[in-house]
Chains A and B, each alone.
Chain A
């Protein structure tokens, strides 16, 4: 019954590795987002997809590559992980141009 789910919940990895985070929503929304929340709780949008099309691409290193195989899924692949990538990554979904976004539980990434 979870509306927006993410896997994994926790990810501990070494610098230089490549990792992926997956997100799925069962709300029928047409828009999905990736956010990064740093240790000071600042929530910053990274990407947004509408019907599998990239609509927001903030100034994010190109080591981060989102992929949306269908409108219910949005994955995030990160190459060559760096210490500064340690954060909580949240997936969210909404209807485009509607104000309510539904967030997943977050993926806690720790890069050692």
Chain B
């Protein structure tokens, strides 16, 4: 079992839809949870990060962490064509404090 699992998609939604992106993980030592956005032929850029359980909101983006279920989510409200990208979850924690990335979900928002 991979430490972090993420559905690769692609996920296609109409403009204005609410998008839900998810990751599950197996290592209960993870404490920091990140979402990166990667546009085609670019490097990933950090969107949001959350420490431990709870919600965090930033504009149209909301990150949720449920440590009891080992499940994290990123919600995008009022999705725009410019949100079309690959979204990678990432986690950190444990003895070696290593960064582990999910495989990424490719999102297409159709105009």
Contacts and interface: CB of A to CB of B under 8 A. Distances in A.
Contacts of A99: 32, 34, 46, 49, 92
Interface string A70-112: 0000000000000000000010100001011111111000000
Interface string B94-111: 001111010110100000
A27 interface: no
A41 B49 CA distance: 21
Contacts of B45: 102-103
A106 B42 contact: yes
Contact of A104 (B32, B43, B49, B86): B43
A44 B101 contact: yes
Interface of B: 8, 32, 34, 38, 41-46, 49, 86, 88, 92, 96-99, 101, 103-104, 106
Given A33-B99, A105-B42, 14 more contacts: A4-B43, A41-B8, A41-B103, A41-B106, A42-B104, A43-B88, A43-B101, A56-B98, A99-B46, A99-B49, A100-B49, A101-B46, A102-B46, A103-B44
